[in-house]
Protein backbone atom coordinates (compact mmCIF):
# COMPACT_ATOMS: atom_id res chain seq x y z
CA UNK A 1 0.00 0.00 0.00
CA UNK A 2 1.18 3.50 -0.82
CA UNK A 3 2.87 5.32 2.06
CA UNK A 4 3.88 8.85 1.19
CA UNK A 5 5.24 11.94 2.82
CA UNK A 6 1.79 13.54 2.66
CA UNK A 7 0.44 10.87 4.96
CA UNK A 8 3.29 11.46 7.38
CA UNK A 9 2.52 15.15 7.51
CA UNK A 10 -1.24 14.67 7.66
CA UNK A 11 -1.24 12.29 10.60
CA UNK A 12 1.07 14.15 12.97
CA UNK A 13 -0.56 14.49 16.37
CA UNK A 14 0.63 17.29 18.63
CA UNK A 15 0.92 16.02 22.18
CA UNK A 16 1.48 18.68 24.83
CA UNK A 17 4.41 18.02 27.07
CA UNK A 18 5.92 15.25 24.90
CA UNK A 19 9.38 15.73 23.41
CA UNK A 20 9.84 15.89 19.64
CA UNK A 21 11.55 12.48 19.68
CA UNK A 22 8.83 10.70 21.66
CA UNK A 23 6.80 7.92 20.08
CA UNK A 24 3.54 9.26 18.70
CA UNK A 25 0.49 7.68 17.06
CA UNK A 26 -2.06 9.09 14.62
CA UNK A 27 -5.59 9.80 15.83
CA UNK A 28 -6.99 6.58 14.36
CA UNK A 29 -5.22 4.76 17.21
CA UNK A 30 -6.83 5.61 20.52
CA UNK A 31 -8.58 4.21 23.56
CA UNK A 32 -11.86 2.37 22.75
CA UNK A 33 -10.93 1.76 19.12
CA UNK A 34 -11.85 -1.21 16.94
CA UNK A 35 -9.28 -2.81 14.64
CA UNK A 36 -10.35 -4.76 11.58
CA UNK A 37 -10.56 -8.51 11.99
CA UNK A 38 -9.06 -10.95 9.47
CA UNK A 39 -6.89 -8.26 7.87
CA UNK A 40 -3.29 -7.22 8.42
CA UNK A 41 -3.10 -4.89 11.43
CA UNK A 42 -0.62 -2.17 10.55
CA UNK A 43 0.42 0.24 13.26
CA UNK A 44 2.44 3.34 12.45
CA UNK A 45 3.55 6.61 13.86
CA UNK A 46 6.59 8.79 14.49
CA UNK A 47 9.68 8.83 16.65
CA UNK A 48 13.23 10.17 16.61
CA UNK A 49 15.23 9.17 13.53
CA UNK A 50 16.91 5.85 14.32
CA UNK A 51 14.77 5.15 17.40
CA UNK A 52 13.79 1.49 17.86
CA UNK A 53 10.06 0.94 18.31
CA UNK A 54 8.40 -2.16 19.70
CA UNK A 55 4.64 -2.78 19.24
CA UNK A 56 2.69 -5.52 21.01
CA UNK A 57 -0.96 -6.59 20.86
CA UNK A 58 -2.66 -9.75 22.05
CA UNK A 59 0.56 -11.75 22.35
CA UNK A 60 2.16 -10.65 19.08
CA UNK A 61 5.18 -8.38 18.85
CA UNK A 62 6.61 -6.45 15.90
CA UNK A 63 9.55 -4.02 15.72
CA UNK A 64 10.78 -1.25 13.45
CA UNK A 65 13.25 1.63 13.44
CA UNK A 66 12.15 5.19 12.66
CA UNK A 67 13.42 6.35 9.28
CA UNK A 68 14.94 9.72 8.38
CA UNK A 69 11.50 11.33 8.40
CA UNK A 70 10.75 9.82 11.81
CA UNK A 71 8.27 7.38 10.31
CA UNK A 72 7.93 3.79 11.51
CA UNK A 73 5.42 1.07 10.63
CA UNK A 74 4.88 -2.50 11.77
CA UNK A 75 2.58 -5.27 10.60
CA UNK A 76 1.18 -7.41 13.42
CA UNK A 77 -0.65 -9.81 11.15
CA UNK A 78 -4.29 -10.88 11.36
CA UNK A 79 -6.61 -11.29 14.33
CA UNK A 80 -9.94 -12.97 14.78
CA UNK A 81 -12.92 -10.98 16.04
CA UNK A 82 -12.92 -10.46 19.79
CA UNK A 83 -15.09 -8.52 22.20
CA UNK A 84 -12.52 -8.89 24.96
CA UNK A 85 -10.82 -5.52 25.56
CA UNK A 86 -7.08 -5.59 24.94
CA UNK A 87 -4.16 -3.17 25.11
CA UNK A 88 -2.02 -2.05 22.18
CA UNK A 89 1.40 -1.07 23.53
CA UNK A 90 3.99 0.98 21.65
CA UNK A 91 7.43 1.31 23.26
CA UNK A 92 10.32 3.51 22.28
CA UNK A 93 11.88 6.42 24.15
CA UNK A 94 8.50 6.58 25.86
CA UNK A 95 5.57 4.15 26.05
CA UNK A 96 2.10 4.70 24.61
CA UNK A 97 -0.68 2.34 25.68
CA UNK A 98 -3.96 2.25 23.77
CA UNK A 99 -6.60 0.73 26.04
CA UNK A 100 -9.91 -1.04 25.55
CA UNK A 101 -9.22 -2.18 21.98
CA UNK A 102 -11.68 -4.58 20.32
CA UNK A 103 -11.31 -6.60 17.12
CA UNK A 104 -14.24 -6.50 14.74
CA UNK A 105 -15.42 -4.66 11.64
CA UNK A 106 -14.63 -1.03 10.83
CA UNK A 107 -16.80 0.98 8.44
CA UNK A 108 -15.99 4.42 7.04
CA UNK A 109 -19.11 6.64 7.04
CA UNK A 110 -18.69 9.54 4.67
CA UNK A 111 -20.41 12.05 2.41
CA UNK A 112 -22.10 15.36 3.11
CA UNK A 113 -24.69 16.71 5.54
CA UNK A 114 -27.14 13.80 5.50
CA UNK A 115 -24.34 11.53 6.70
CA UNK A 116 -23.19 14.22 9.13
CA UNK A 117 -26.80 14.67 10.41
CA UNK A 118 -26.68 13.72 14.13
CA UNK A 119 -28.80 11.08 15.78
CA UNK A 120 -30.25 13.58 18.25
CA UNK A 121 -32.04 15.33 15.38
CA UNK A 122 -33.46 12.18 13.80
CA UNK A 123 -37.12 11.21 13.98
CA UNK A 124 -36.64 8.18 16.25
CA UNK A 125 -34.21 9.68 18.74
CA UNK A 126 -36.59 10.21 21.66
CA UNK A 127 -37.67 6.57 21.52
CA UNK A 128 -34.02 5.46 21.61
CA UNK A 129 -33.04 7.40 24.71
CA UNK A 130 -31.96 5.11 27.49
CA UNK A 131 -30.97 2.29 25.13
CA UNK A 132 -27.95 3.71 23.33
CA UNK A 133 -25.16 2.42 25.57
CA UNK A 134 -23.44 -0.41 23.71
CA UNK A 135 -19.84 -1.34 24.43
CA UNK A 136 -19.72 -3.42 21.24
CA UNK A 137 -20.11 -0.31 19.07
CA UNK A 138 -17.32 2.25 18.96
CA UNK A 139 -17.57 5.66 17.34
CA UNK A 140 -14.86 7.85 15.86
CA UNK A 141 -16.26 11.24 14.94
CA UNK A 142 -13.78 13.22 12.85
CA UNK A 143 -14.98 16.77 13.49
CA UNK A 144 -14.32 19.44 10.83
CA UNK A 145 -12.29 22.34 12.16
CA UNK A 146 -14.14 24.76 9.86
CA UNK A 147 -17.71 23.74 9.07
CA UNK A 148 -18.92 25.45 5.86
CA UNK A 149 -21.91 27.29 7.30
CA UNK A 150 -23.39 30.45 5.78
CA UNK A 151 -20.90 33.03 6.98
CA UNK A 152 -17.31 34.13 6.50
CA UNK A 153 -14.72 31.99 8.25
CA UNK A 154 -12.82 33.48 11.17
CA UNK A 155 -9.03 33.68 11.03
CA UNK A 156 -8.90 30.60 13.26
CA UNK A 157 -11.17 28.68 10.89
CA UNK A 158 -9.15 29.73 7.87
CA UNK A 159 -6.05 28.40 9.61
CA UNK A 160 -7.85 25.07 10.01
CA UNK A 161 -8.43 24.84 6.26
CA UNK A 162 -5.32 22.84 5.59
CA UNK A 163 -5.52 19.04 5.49
CA UNK A 164 -3.18 18.48 8.44
CA UNK A 165 -5.33 20.69 10.69
CA UNK A 166 -8.83 20.12 9.38
CA UNK A 167 -10.18 17.17 11.37
CA UNK A 168 -9.93 16.42 15.05
CA UNK A 169 -11.49 13.78 17.25
CA UNK A 170 -11.01 10.31 18.68
CA UNK A 171 -12.70 7.05 19.53
CA UNK A 172 -15.52 6.74 22.07
CA UNK A 173 -17.67 3.92 23.32
CA UNK A 174 -21.22 4.15 22.04
CA UNK A 175 -22.90 5.91 24.96
CA UNK A 176 -26.02 8.03 25.24
CA UNK A 177 -23.92 11.18 24.90
CA UNK A 178 -21.60 10.01 22.12
CA UNK A 179 -24.38 8.47 20.00
CA UNK A 180 -26.49 11.62 20.20
CA UNK A 181 -23.82 13.63 18.36
CA UNK A 182 -22.90 10.88 15.89
CA UNK A 183 -24.25 10.37 12.38
CA UNK A 184 -27.80 9.02 12.55
CA UNK A 185 -27.46 7.00 9.36
CA UNK A 186 -24.15 5.54 10.52
CA UNK A 187 -25.51 4.72 13.99
CA UNK A 188 -28.57 2.92 12.63
CA UNK A 189 -26.35 1.05 10.18
CA UNK A 190 -23.83 0.05 12.83
CA UNK A 191 -26.47 -1.04 15.32
CA UNK A 192 -27.98 -3.38 12.72
CA UNK A 193 -24.57 -4.84 11.83
CA UNK A 194 -23.64 -5.41 15.45
CA UNK A 195 -27.02 -7.02 16.19
CA UNK A 196 -27.07 -9.37 13.21
CA UNK A 197 -23.38 -10.12 12.64
CA UNK A 198 -22.38 -10.32 16.29
CA UNK A 199 -18.93 -8.73 16.18
CA UNK A 200 -17.68 -5.40 17.52
CA UNK A 201 -18.34 -2.57 15.10
CA UNK A 202 -16.24 0.56 14.67
CA UNK A 203 -17.72 3.51 12.79
CA UNK A 204 -15.48 6.29 11.47
CA UNK A 205 -17.44 9.41 10.50
CA UNK A 206 -15.73 12.04 8.34
CA UNK A 207 -18.67 13.61 6.48
CA UNK A 208 -18.82 17.36 5.82
CA UNK A 209 -22.02 19.26 5.14
CA UNK A 210 -22.42 20.56 1.60
CA UNK A 211 -19.27 18.87 0.32
CA UNK A 212 -19.16 18.03 -3.40
CA UNK A 213 -17.91 14.62 -4.49
CA UNK A 214 -14.85 16.25 -6.10
CA UNK A 215 -13.51 17.13 -2.65
CA UNK A 216 -13.33 13.42 -1.76
CA UNK A 217 -11.28 12.41 -4.83
CA UNK A 218 -7.50 12.78 -4.73
CA UNK A 219 -6.19 15.75 -6.66
CA UNK A 220 -3.82 13.50 -8.57
CA UNK A 221 -6.64 11.28 -9.78
CA UNK A 222 -8.71 14.28 -10.83
CA UNK A 223 -5.75 15.76 -12.71
CA UNK A 224 -5.28 12.52 -14.63
CA UNK A 225 -8.81 12.75 -16.03
CA UNK A 226 -9.12 15.51 -18.61
CA UNK A 227 -12.92 15.66 -18.36
CA UNK A 228 -12.91 16.03 -14.58
CA UNK A 229 -9.94 18.38 -14.46
CA UNK A 230 -11.55 20.75 -16.96
CA UNK A 231 -14.14 21.38 -14.26
CA UNK A 232 -11.95 21.05 -11.16
CA UNK A 233 -8.71 22.74 -12.22
CA UNK A 234 -10.06 26.26 -11.60
CA UNK A 235 -12.86 25.24 -9.26
CA UNK A 236 -13.84 28.67 -7.94
CA UNK A 237 -13.88 30.08 -11.45
CA UNK A 238 -15.58 27.17 -13.20
CA UNK A 239 -19.29 27.62 -13.86
CA UNK A 240 -19.56 23.85 -14.22
CA UNK A 241 -18.30 23.18 -10.69
CA UNK A 242 -21.17 22.70 -8.20
CA UNK A 243 -22.68 26.24 -8.15
CA UNK A 244 -23.88 26.21 -4.56
CA UNK A 245 -20.49 24.98 -3.37
CA UNK A 246 -18.64 27.73 -5.22
CA UNK A 247 -20.91 30.39 -3.75
CA UNK A 248 -20.61 29.05 -0.21
CA UNK A 249 -16.84 28.68 -0.47
CA UNK A 250 -16.44 32.28 -1.68
CA UNK A 251 -18.56 33.46 1.24
CA UNK A 252 -16.51 31.41 3.71
CA UNK A 253 -13.16 32.51 2.29
CA UNK A 254 -13.92 36.21 1.92
CA UNK A 255 -10.86 38.15 0.78
CA UNK A 256 -8.76 34.99 0.75
CA UNK A 257 -10.83 33.42 -2.07
CA UNK A 258 -8.27 34.60 -4.61
CA UNK A 259 -5.37 32.96 -2.78
CA UNK A 260 -4.53 29.73 -4.59
CA UNK A 261 -2.86 28.37 -1.46
CA UNK A 262 -5.91 28.89 0.76
CA UNK A 263 -7.72 25.63 1.37
CA UNK A 264 -11.43 24.94 1.79
CA UNK A 265 -13.37 21.70 2.41
CA UNK A 266 -15.10 22.09 -0.97
CA UNK A 267 -11.83 22.36 -2.89
CA UNK A 268 -11.19 19.38 -5.20
CA UNK A 269 -9.10 16.78 -3.40
CA UNK A 270 -9.16 18.55 -0.03
CA UNK A 271 -11.26 16.07 1.96
CA UNK A 272 -9.48 13.11 0.41
CA UNK A 273 -6.16 14.50 1.59
CA UNK A 274 -7.55 15.50 4.99
CA UNK A 275 -9.79 12.57 5.87
CA UNK A 276 -9.39 9.61 3.54
CA UNK A 277 -5.69 9.25 2.70
CA UNK A 278 -4.64 9.30 6.38
CA UNK A 279 -6.83 6.22 6.98
CA UNK A 280 -5.68 4.07 4.10
CA UNK A 281 -3.03 2.07 5.99
CA UNK A 282 -5.78 1.16 8.45
CA UNK A 283 -7.79 -1.83 7.22
CA UNK A 284 -11.57 -1.39 7.05
CA UNK A 285 -14.51 -3.61 6.18
CA UNK A 286 -16.15 -1.13 3.83
CA UNK A 287 -17.66 2.28 3.18
CA UNK A 288 -21.14 3.75 3.49
CA UNK A 289 -21.70 6.94 1.49
CA UNK A 290 -24.53 9.50 1.51
CA UNK A 291 -23.76 12.34 -0.87
CA UNK A 292 -25.01 13.95 -4.04
CA UNK A 293 -27.21 16.87 -3.07
CA UNK A 294 -24.43 19.35 -3.85
CA UNK A 295 -23.73 17.79 -7.24
CA UNK A 296 -27.39 17.40 -8.23
CA UNK A 297 -29.75 20.18 -9.41
CA UNK A 298 -30.62 22.82 -6.83
CA UNK A 299 -34.21 23.55 -7.85
CA UNK A 300 -37.24 21.78 -9.23
CA UNK A 301 -36.67 23.27 -12.71
CA UNK A 302 -32.85 23.19 -12.88
CA UNK A 303 -31.70 20.99 -15.79
CA UNK A 304 -28.09 22.17 -15.94
CA UNK A 305 -26.39 19.29 -14.13
CA UNK A 306 -24.33 16.99 -16.37
CA UNK A 307 -25.18 13.40 -15.45
CA UNK A 308 -22.50 11.95 -17.71
CA UNK A 309 -19.96 13.96 -15.72
CA UNK A 310 -21.52 12.92 -12.40
CA UNK A 311 -21.44 9.24 -13.30
CA UNK A 312 -17.80 9.56 -14.28
CA UNK A 313 -17.12 11.37 -11.01
CA UNK A 314 -18.81 8.79 -8.77
CA UNK A 315 -17.11 5.90 -10.54
CA UNK A 316 -13.77 7.70 -10.22
CA UNK A 317 -14.31 8.30 -6.51
CA UNK A 318 -15.08 4.63 -5.86
CA UNK A 319 -12.03 3.52 -7.84
CA UNK A 320 -9.83 6.11 -6.15
CA UNK A 321 -10.73 4.91 -2.67
CA UNK A 322 -10.26 1.29 -3.63
CA UNK A 323 -6.80 2.05 -4.99
CA UNK A 324 -5.94 4.05 -1.89
CA UNK A 325 -6.84 1.14 0.40
CA UNK A 326 -5.24 -1.34 -1.96
CA UNK A 327 -8.48 -3.30 -2.18
CA UNK A 328 -10.18 -3.52 -5.58
CA UNK A 329 -13.19 -5.19 -3.94
CA UNK A 330 -13.69 -2.71 -1.09
CA UNK A 331 -17.46 -2.67 -0.45
CA UNK A 332 -18.93 0.73 -1.25
CA UNK A 333 -22.58 1.17 -0.28
CA UNK A 334 -24.38 4.41 -1.07
CA UNK A 335 -27.76 6.09 -0.70
CA UNK A 336 -29.81 7.00 -3.75
CA UNK A 337 -31.12 10.54 -3.30
CA UNK A 338 -34.62 10.71 -1.77
CA UNK A 339 -37.76 12.54 -2.78
CA UNK A 340 -37.62 16.34 -2.49
CA UNK A 341 -38.73 19.43 -4.42
CA UNK A 342 -35.63 19.37 -6.62
CA UNK A 343 -35.00 17.90 -10.05
CA UNK A 344 -33.11 14.84 -8.89
CA UNK A 345 -34.65 12.29 -11.27
CA UNK A 346 -31.66 12.10 -13.60
CA UNK A 347 -29.25 11.95 -10.66
CA UNK A 348 -31.14 8.98 -9.19
CA UNK A 349 -30.99 7.27 -12.58
CA UNK A 350 -27.24 7.90 -12.69
CA UNK A 351 -26.90 6.28 -9.27
CA UNK A 352 -28.92 3.29 -10.46
CA UNK A 353 -26.66 2.92 -13.50
CA UNK A 354 -23.53 2.96 -11.33
CA UNK A 355 -25.06 0.12 -9.33
CA UNK A 356 -25.29 -1.87 -12.58
CA UNK A 357 -21.86 -0.96 -13.89
CA UNK A 358 -19.51 -1.10 -10.89
CA UNK A 359 -18.87 -4.42 -9.11
CA UNK A 360 -19.02 -4.62 -5.34
CA UNK A 361 -21.27 -1.61 -4.74
CA UNK A 362 -24.74 -1.40 -3.21
CA UNK A 363 -27.48 1.23 -3.34
CA UNK A 364 -30.10 1.94 -0.70
CA UNK A 365 -33.27 3.40 -2.21
CA UNK A 366 -34.70 6.25 -0.12
CA UNK A 367 -37.39 7.59 -2.47
CA UNK A 368 -40.09 7.04 0.17
CA UNK A 369 -38.40 8.57 3.22
CA UNK A 370 -37.40 12.06 2.08
CA UNK A 371 -38.97 15.41 2.87
CA UNK A 372 -40.37 17.44 0.00
CA UNK A 373 -39.40 20.72 1.67
CA UNK A 374 -36.21 19.84 3.55
CA UNK A 375 -32.91 18.63 2.12
CA UNK A 376 -32.27 17.04 5.52
CA UNK A 377 -35.08 14.50 6.10
CA UNK A 378 -35.29 13.38 9.72
CA UNK A 379 -36.34 9.80 9.03
CA UNK A 380 -32.87 8.28 8.99
CA UNK A 381 -33.60 4.87 10.49
CA UNK A 382 -34.85 3.24 7.24
CA UNK A 383 -31.79 4.57 5.40
CA UNK A 384 -29.34 3.05 7.88
CA UNK A 385 -31.31 -0.18 8.00
CA UNK A 386 -31.38 -0.52 4.20
CA UNK A 387 -27.64 0.04 3.98
CA UNK A 388 -27.21 -2.63 6.65
CA UNK A 389 -29.41 -5.08 4.75
CA UNK A 390 -27.16 -4.63 1.70
CA UNK A 391 -24.07 -5.20 3.83
CA UNK A 392 -25.58 -8.26 5.51
CA UNK A 393 -26.35 -9.84 2.14
CA UNK A 394 -23.48 -8.71 -0.10
CA UNK A 395 -20.64 -8.37 2.41
CA UNK A 396 -21.52 -10.88 5.13
CA UNK A 397 -23.32 -13.45 2.96
CA UNK A 398 -26.51 -13.56 5.02
CA UNK A 399 -29.72 -14.79 3.41
CA UNK A 400 -31.81 -11.62 3.66
CA UNK A 401 -33.85 -9.58 1.21
CA UNK A 402 -31.65 -6.55 0.79
CA UNK A 403 -33.13 -4.54 -2.08
CA UNK A 404 -36.41 -3.31 -3.33
CA UNK A 405 -37.45 -4.13 -6.91
CA UNK A 406 -35.02 -3.04 -9.63
CA UNK A 407 -35.67 -3.00 -13.38
CA UNK A 408 -34.02 -5.64 -15.54
CA UNK A 409 -35.51 -4.80 -18.94
CA UNK A 410 -38.70 -3.67 -20.65
CA UNK A 411 -40.29 -4.92 -23.86
CA UNK A 412 -43.51 -4.27 -25.77
CA UNK A 413 -45.98 -7.13 -25.47
CA UNK A 414 -49.08 -6.38 -27.51
CA UNK A 415 -50.64 -3.17 -26.26
CA UNK A 416 -48.63 -3.20 -23.04
CA UNK A 417 -45.05 -2.64 -21.95
CA UNK A 418 -43.78 -5.47 -19.75
CA UNK A 419 -41.20 -4.38 -17.20
CA UNK A 420 -39.14 -7.28 -15.85
CA UNK A 421 -37.91 -6.82 -12.27
CA UNK A 422 -35.46 -8.42 -9.88
CA UNK A 423 -35.72 -8.43 -6.08
CA UNK A 424 -39.45 -8.64 -6.75
CA UNK A 425 -40.57 -11.45 -4.46
CA UNK A 426 -44.22 -10.89 -3.43
CA UNK A 427 -44.38 -7.78 -5.60
CA UNK A 428 -47.20 -5.54 -4.43
CA UNK A 429 -48.39 -2.02 -3.80
CA UNK A 430 -48.72 -0.35 -0.45
CA UNK A 431 -52.08 -0.62 1.34
CA UNK A 432 -53.82 -2.42 -1.50
CA UNK A 433 -53.93 0.69 -3.68
CA UNK A 434 -53.71 0.69 -7.46
CA UNK A 435 -50.26 0.88 -9.02
CA UNK A 436 -49.08 4.46 -9.35
CA UNK A 437 -46.02 6.21 -10.77
CA UNK A 438 -45.68 4.76 -14.30
CA UNK A 439 -45.53 6.80 -17.50
CA UNK A 440 -45.09 6.04 -21.20
CA UNK A 441 -43.75 8.37 -23.90
CA UNK A 442 -45.46 8.78 -27.27
CA UNK A 443 -43.93 9.28 -30.72
CA UNK A 444 -43.92 13.07 -30.22
CA UNK A 445 -41.89 12.81 -27.03
CA UNK A 446 -44.79 13.57 -24.69
CA UNK A 447 -45.07 11.62 -21.47
CA UNK A 448 -48.46 10.23 -20.37
CA UNK A 449 -49.57 8.80 -17.06
CA UNK A 450 -50.14 5.09 -17.50
CA UNK A 451 -52.09 2.30 -15.86
CA UNK A 452 -50.15 -0.66 -14.57
CA UNK A 453 -50.81 -4.13 -13.23
CA UNK A 454 -48.57 -6.54 -11.37
CA UNK A 455 -48.11 -10.16 -12.39
CA UNK A 456 -45.43 -12.21 -10.70
CA UNK A 457 -42.11 -10.36 -11.14
CA UNK A 458 -43.35 -8.07 -13.90
CA UNK A 459 -45.34 -4.89 -14.16
CA UNK A 460 -47.46 -4.44 -17.31
CA UNK A 461 -47.91 -0.80 -18.28
CA UNK A 462 -50.58 0.59 -20.61
CA UNK A 463 -51.81 3.99 -21.81
CA UNK A 464 -54.65 4.48 -24.28
CA UNK A 465 -52.93 7.70 -25.35
CA UNK A 466 -49.70 6.01 -26.44
CA UNK A 467 -49.87 3.64 -29.41
CA UNK A 468 -46.16 3.08 -29.96
CA UNK A 469 -44.26 3.76 -26.72
CA UNK A 470 -40.52 4.29 -26.98
CA UNK A 471 -39.72 4.47 -23.27
CA UNK A 472 -41.19 3.74 -19.84
CA UNK A 473 -40.38 5.41 -16.57
CA UNK A 474 -41.33 5.08 -12.92
CA UNK A 475 -41.37 7.60 -10.06
CA UNK A 476 -39.89 10.19 -12.39
CA UNK A 477 -40.69 13.35 -10.44
CA UNK A 478 -39.17 15.39 -7.62
CA UNK A 479 -41.76 13.92 -5.21
CA UNK A 480 -43.09 10.87 -7.03
CA UNK A 481 -46.17 8.87 -6.11
CA UNK A 482 -44.76 5.45 -6.98
CA UNK A 483 -45.99 2.81 -4.56
CA UNK A 484 -44.52 -0.53 -5.68
CA UNK A 485 -42.70 -2.57 -3.03
CA UNK A 486 -41.64 -6.16 -2.55
CA UNK A 487 -42.73 -8.50 0.21
CA UNK A 488 -40.29 -6.94 2.67
CA UNK A 489 -41.76 -3.50 2.04
CA UNK A 490 -38.64 -2.24 0.29
CA UNK A 491 -39.51 0.34 -2.38
CA UNK A 492 -38.81 0.05 -6.08
CA UNK A 493 -36.13 2.37 -7.42
CA UNK A 494 -37.11 5.16 -9.81
CA UNK A 495 -35.98 4.40 -13.35
CA UNK A 496 -36.31 5.14 -17.05
CA UNK A 497 -35.87 2.51 -19.79
CA UNK A 498 -35.85 3.02 -23.55
CA UNK A 499 -37.70 0.37 -25.56
- The whole-chain average pLDDT of the chain stands at 95
Q: Determine which of 69-78, 85-94, 296-305 has the lowest per-residue pLDDT on average.
A: 296-305
How many structural domains does the chain have?
Answer: 3
Query: Distance between CA 296 and CA 210 in Å, rounded?
Result: 11
Split at pLDDT 50, 70, 90, the class of 260 is: confident
CB 185 within 8 A of CB 384: yes
What pLDDT, on a 0 to 100 scale, did the predictor assign at position 258? 87
What pLDDT, on a 0 to 100 scale, did the predictor assign at position 14? 39
Residue 350 and residue 461 share a domain: no
Closest by CA position to 228, among listed 330, 327, 319: 319
Query: Distance between CA 64 and CA 67 in Å, rounded?
Result: 9
Q: Determine, yes or no, domain membership for 402.
A: no
CATH of the domain at 417: 2.60.40
CB 388 within 8 A of CB 105: no
What pLDDT, on a 0 to 100 scale, did the predictor assign at position 8? 41
* Residue 10 in this model has a pLDDT that exceeds 80: no
Split at pLDDT 50, 70, 90, the class of 5 is: very low
Residue 423 and residue 369 share a domain: no
Residue 491 and residue 418 share a domain: yes
pLDDT > 90 in the chain, percent? 93
Range of the domain at 359: 107-395
What pLDDT, on a 0 to 100 scale, did the predictor assign at position 301? 79
CB 484 within 8 A of CB 492: yes
| Cβ-Cβ contacts under 8 Å for 230 (sequence gap 6 or more) | 238, 240
Residue 316 and residue 240 share a domain: yes
Distances (CA, A) of 432 to 424, 439, 482, 485, 486: 17, 20, 13, 11, 13
Q: Determine, yes or no, domain membership for 401.
A: no
Phi, psi of 14 (to 5 degrees): -85, 120
Residue 263 and residue 200 share a domain: yes
If you average pLDDT over residues 155-165, what whole number do you get? 97
If you average pLDDT over residues 198-219, what whole number do you get? 99
Q: Determine, yes or no, domain membership for 174.
A: yes
| Cβ-Cβ contacts under 8 Å for 321 (sequence gap 6 or more) | 276, 287, 330, 332
Split at pLDDT 50, 70, 90, the class of 17 is: very low
What pLDDT, on a 0 to 100 scale, did the predictor assign at position 18? 42
The residue among 53, 80, 101 that closes a domain is 101
Residue 133 and residue 36 share a domain: no
CB 139 within 8 A of CB 179: yes
What pLDDT, on a 0 to 100 scale, did the predictor assign at position 300? 82
Residue 287 and residue 225 share a domain: yes
CATH of the domain at 52: 2.60.40.10
| pTM of this structure | 0.94
* Residue 480 in this model has a pLDDT that exceeds 60: yes
Residue 111 and residue 90 share a domain: no
What pLDDT, on a 0 to 100 scale, did the predictor assign at position 20? 56
Query: What is the per-residue pLDDT across 346-403, written as a single tens digit (0 to 9) for each?
Result: 999 999 999 999 999 999 999 999 999 999 999 999 999 999 999 999 999 999 999 9
Closest by CA position to 361, among listed 398, 336, 329: 329
What pLDDT, on a 0 to 100 scale, did the predictor assign at position 3? 39
Residue 111 and residue 97 share a domain: no
Residue 344 and residue 484 share a domain: no
The residue among 395, 416, 444 that closes a domain is 395
If you average pLDDT over residues 56-66, what whole number do you get? 98
CB 102 within 8 A of CB 37: no
What is the per-residue burial (b if ≥16 Cβ within 10 Å, else e) of 409-435? Answer: ebeeeeebbbbebebbeebbbeeeeeb
Residue 263 and residue 349 share a domain: yes
Amino acid sequence: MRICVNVIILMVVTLAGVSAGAVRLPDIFGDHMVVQRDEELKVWGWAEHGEDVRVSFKGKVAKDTADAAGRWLVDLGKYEASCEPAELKVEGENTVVVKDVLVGDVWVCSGQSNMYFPLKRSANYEALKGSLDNKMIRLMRMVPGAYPSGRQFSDEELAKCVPVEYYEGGWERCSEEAAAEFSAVAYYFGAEIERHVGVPVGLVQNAVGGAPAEAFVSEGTLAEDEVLWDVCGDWLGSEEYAPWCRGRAKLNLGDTAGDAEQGHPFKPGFLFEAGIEPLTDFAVKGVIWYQGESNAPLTVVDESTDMVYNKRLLKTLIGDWRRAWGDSDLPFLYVQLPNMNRRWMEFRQMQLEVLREVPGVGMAVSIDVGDRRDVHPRNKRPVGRRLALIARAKVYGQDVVYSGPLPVDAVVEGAEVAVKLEHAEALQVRSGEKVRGFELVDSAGRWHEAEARIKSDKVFVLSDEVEEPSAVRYSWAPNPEGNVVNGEGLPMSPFIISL
